[in-house]
Amino acid sequence: MSANDGAGDTKMRAIVVVEEGEMSAPAATPKQGKCCEYTLDGSVDMKGRPAVKGKSGGWLAGALILVNQGLATLAFFGVNVNLVLFLTRVLGQSNGDAANNVSKWTGTVYMFSLIGAFLSDSYWGRYKTCAIFQAIFVLGLALLSVSSHLYLIRPDGCGMEHAPCGPHSGKELGIFYIALYMIAFGNGGYQPNIATLGADQFDEEDPAEAHSKVSFFSYFYLALNLGSLFSNTFLSYLEDKGSWALGFWASTAAAATALLLFLSGTLRYRYFQPGGNPIGRIGQVAIAACRNWKAGVSTEVVSLYEGDEKADAGGRKLLHTQGFSFLDRAAHADTDSKLGARDPWKLCSVTQVEEVKSILRLLPIWLCTILYSVVFTQMASLFVVQGAAMRRTTPFSGFSVPPSSMSAFDILTVAATIFLYRRTICPFLARLSGRPAGPTELQRMGLGLVVGALAMTTAGTVEHFRKARATAAMSSDLHIMWQVPQYALIGVSEVMMYVGQLEFFNGQMPDGLKSFGSALCMMSMSLGNYFSDIIVSAVTRLTTTRGRSGWIPADLNEGHLDKFYFLLAVLAVADFAVYLVCASRYGSGKVDGRSSDDEEEGAAGQVTSPAYA
């Protein structure tokens, strides 16, 4: 098909989508049936039947998942929040080694999210994956509690600030690290799937439930932070006073309760069938595109194959988009010949190709979020070390502020920001901009980068004055409450960045890769922790030459932690500049049946949005 513009010879390239079985009568869709009784997004109940709206999902199922997330987070942060102090006081590690080990462990937690997402999207489904990994999480916490009580907290009463524990055997340390990485494996595999399972409880084809789905991500992050609030206050205080085993047992009880609550909603949840191995589907597109690379293609007409993708990948069809045109060769079909049994390694569907394009489009945005995670991870490591070197007294005799409990101000800021944003700021900006949903996810993520840079600048300024008022080794007359602004700024930035990330990746990923989208968020945190370790190690190596103490020594009064914070602020600003370029070029794909009004009805192969060229 071609179109000539007047007497000129400029030609239009047309895209024809060849559908499998297109000559047969169209099958009835859920929208043609009982649209008010059943969900329209393809979700099913526990027995595989179409999900009934009034009897499944919604806020009842969503509330169970939110409480589950709150309790599981309480359990996880009961270990994470004071892990750096446990490693120094109980296992006798240095500040630098402990901070690096915490970064590596936290990074591993999020790295395991890829395994959970793969099993969920490919074979097990989100519910089964969540149940199995939560059980591993509970067992890991129980083993940590037992080993701490029997082996590690020796002699009795050790583990406090001025009462370190004695040396430990290789066997005792081995049990500790097995327990620690069981916790990492269980929590990492569970986290990306519980967020996606919660979003599955709302039908995005129903306007009311679609609005609830957007709100769910904010409440999910709020539940996460409220759960960690208890850990950062009560459990942090217990562990700071040497009651490590009691704190770990409390975490175990919370995780076990979370698992039981999760299982209680089995009959109420909505489910999506796993779509098969996504690695295989991606590989088929790559190989088919290479095989068809030299195939003769008309400059006027391109025929693209589209099969029954609901059977192939468990999701809805995706419309063809511009960008990454070399991948379109994987779907090139000869419309003059009859489509028979196809070889998926030679001919792929448009939807399958668009799945790969969706991932490729997201990668530049995702890469820009990693440096923010480097900024964010300082709250669990160097912020705590900095706080330990400040005056922590209170008007209450005998009570001092635990350094790790300062993250409670981050949590309170998160809760306040989510509430104010959803109730006040977002509606105001929506009226101002004329966009009903308010600022886009990409805009919020960019704001998160800027505020994160401000947090590092503030932390560096506080450290400058802390050091100026230093008294003795690892001590200063500057009160720990001066850390509140840096924690508060981190709280604002993480709401903008991480809630925006959850919404963005879940919304932009194809149906068969939703858990992978949530795993990308966690992978950003994981790589942020690893890069933090690399940056800290590099800075330490470069600043400790010629007998100098370096920027981050054991005694912060002899170092320049403020310069390290300022370095991170500069890196965050540079990252924001790159992010602006990537975000301005981003274009999303389209799901069949959800095109805008100006799109022609039935144009299944129509280009719907710009993308990376």
User: CA–CA separation, 235 vs 101, rounded Å?
Assistant: 21
**Contact between 450 and 576 (Cβ < 8 Å):** yes
Condensed to tens digits (0 to 9), the pLDDT of residues 319-339 reads 888 888 888 888 887 644 455
pLDDT beyond 50 at 602: no
Per-residue pLDDT, 15: 55
pLDDT beyond 80 at 524: yes
User: CA–CA separation, 380 vs 405, rounded Å?
Assistant: 10
Residue, of 285 and 305, whose pLDDT is higher: 285
Question: Domain-by-domain residue ranges, the chain?
Answer: 57-274+354-585
User: CA–CA separation, 28 vs 37, rounded Å?
Assistant: 16
**Contact between 176 and 184 (Cβ < 8 Å):** no
Percent of the chain past pLDDT 90, that is, above it, reads 28
The residue to which tokens 């990994």 are assigned: 133
Query: Residue 179, class by beta-carbon neighbours within 10 Å (0-12 exposed, 13-18 middle, 19+ buried)?
Result: buried
Per-residue pLDDT, 462: 95
User: CA–CA separation, 48 vs 267, rounded Å?
Assistant: 12
Query: Residue 166, class by beta-carbon neighbours within 10 Å (0-12 exposed, 13-18 middle, 19+ buried)?
Result: exposed
Condensed to tens digits (0 to 9), the pLDDT of residues 420-459 reads 988 888 888 888 877 777 788 899 999 999 999 999 999 9
Residue type, 389: A
Taking CA atoms, 304 is separated from 280, 604, 610, in Å, by 20, 10, 19
Per-residue pLDDT, 368: 93
pTM of the predicted model over 0.85: no
CB atoms within 10 A of CB 356: 22
Condensed to tens digits (0 to 9), the pLDDT of residues 162-191 reads 677 777 788 888 899 999 999 999 998 998
Condensed to tens digits (0 to 9), the pLDDT of residues 547-599 reads 788 898 888 888 899 999 999 999 999 999 999 999 998 876 566 554 333 33
Task: List the beta strands (DSSP E) in 172-215.
Answer: none
pLDDT category, 355, cuts 50, 70, 90? confident
Q: Which two tokens stand for residue 465?
A: 């004055």
Per-residue pLDDT, 583: 92
Residue 556 per-residue DSSP state: G
Condensed to tens digits (0 to 9), the pLDDT of residues 62-73 reads 999 999 999 999
**Of residues 566, 567, 605, 572, the one with CA closest to residue 589:** 605
On average, the pLDDT of the chain sits at: 81
Q: Which two tokens stand for residue 463?
A: 């450290």
Q: For residue 271, give the 3-state DSSP assignment.
A: strand
**Of residues 537, 581, 104, the one with CA closest to residue 367:** 581
**Of residues 363, 364, 359, 379, the one with CA closest to residue 494:** 379
CB atoms within 10 A of CB 288: 24
**Contact between 552 and 540 (Cβ < 8 Å):** yes
* Mean pLDDT for the stretch of residues 371-379: 92
Per-residue pLDDT, 445: 94
Condensed to tens digits (0 to 9), the pLDDT of residues 387-418 reads 988 998 888 877 888 887 888 899 889 989 98
**CATH tag, 57-274+354-585:** 1.20.1250.20
Query: Residue 378, class by beta-carbon neighbours within 10 Å (0-12 exposed, 13-18 middle, 19+ buried)?
Result: buried
Condensed to tens digits (0 to 9), the pLDDT of residues 101-150 reads 887 887 788 788 888 888 988 889 899 999 999 999 999 999 999 988 88
The residue to which tokens 């027995």 are assigned: 47
pLDDT category, 18, cuts 50, 70, 90? low
Residue type, 38: Y
pLDDT category, 230, cuts 50, 70, 90? confident
Q: Which two tokens stand for residue 235?
A: 């459990």
pLDDT category, 611, cuts 50, 70, 90? very low
Per-residue pLDDT, 588: 66
pLDDT beyond 80 at 603: no
Task: List the beta strands (DSSP E) in 507-570.
Answer: none
Q: Are strands 14-19 and 301-306 parallel, antiparallel or unpaired?
A: parallel
Which residues have C-beta within 8 Å of that of residue 439, sequence separation ≥ 6? 426, 429, 433, 447
Residue, of 603 and 476, whose pLDDT is higher: 476
Per-residue pLDDT, 281: 83
Helix H, strand E, coil C: the string for 138-177 is HHHHHHHHHHHHHHHCCCCCCCECCECCCCCCHHHHHHHH
Per-residue pLDDT, 606: 30
pLDDT beyond 50 at 45: yes
Of 2-11, 297-306, 388-397, which one has max mean pLDDT? 388-397
